[in-house]
Amino acid sequence: DSGVTQTPKHLITATGQRVTLRCSPRSGDLSVYWYQQSLDQGLQFLIQYYNGEERAKGNILERFSAQQFPDLHSELNLSSLELGDSALYFCASSGSLSTGELFFGEGSRLTVL
């Protein structure tokens, strides 16, 4: 158990819909990262937040957005869903400035039909 909690674990929805994925980081971790893993793209970095502020941005589509709340949990919003958005979405958190080890959740599996 990494201590990072992601909900929901599985989600099935239709094209054009909008979903929200939630991540609770390990207690005290200030950084949250979102990754997308699809069969043909591997693990792709989407976005990082540190203590409520956006820290780094990767290949995140404009239809996707994220935020980190004052209690440090984060949400990834995916809108106007397309078939190609079907993937595993992982959240990770880190807190130690000396090691920077990332702790990953078990992921949210999104299926767009």
Partner 1 sequence: DAKTTQPNSMESNEEEPVHLPCNHSTISGTDYIHWYRQLPSQGPEYVIHGLTSNVNNRMASLAIAEDRKSSTLILHRATLRDAAVYYCILRFNFGNEKLTFGTGTRLTIIP
Q: What residue ranges bind partner 1 (CB under 8 A)?
A: 2, 4, 30-31, 33, 35, 42-45, 48, 50, 55-56, 58, 90, 92, 94-95, 97-107
Q: How far is the CB of 35 from partner 1 (least distance, A)?
A: 8
Q: Would you say 19 or 32 has its CB closer to partner 1? A: 32
Residue 30: CB minimum distance to partner 1, A: 8
Smaller CB separation from partner 1, 17 or 41: 41
The full length of the chain comes to: 113
Provide the minimum distance between the beta carbon of 61 and partner 1 in the complex, in angstroms, as a whole number: 17
Q: Look up residue 32 and give its two tokens.
A: 């949250």
Considering beta carbons, is residue 55 or 61 the nearer one to partner 1? 55
| Minimum distance, C-beta of residue 98 to partner 1, in the bound complex (Å) | 8
Burial 79-112 (b: 16+ CB within 10 A, else e): eebeeebbbebbbbbbbeeeeeebbebebbebeb
Q: Which residue number, 2 or 80, has a Cβ lying nearer to partner 1?
A: 2
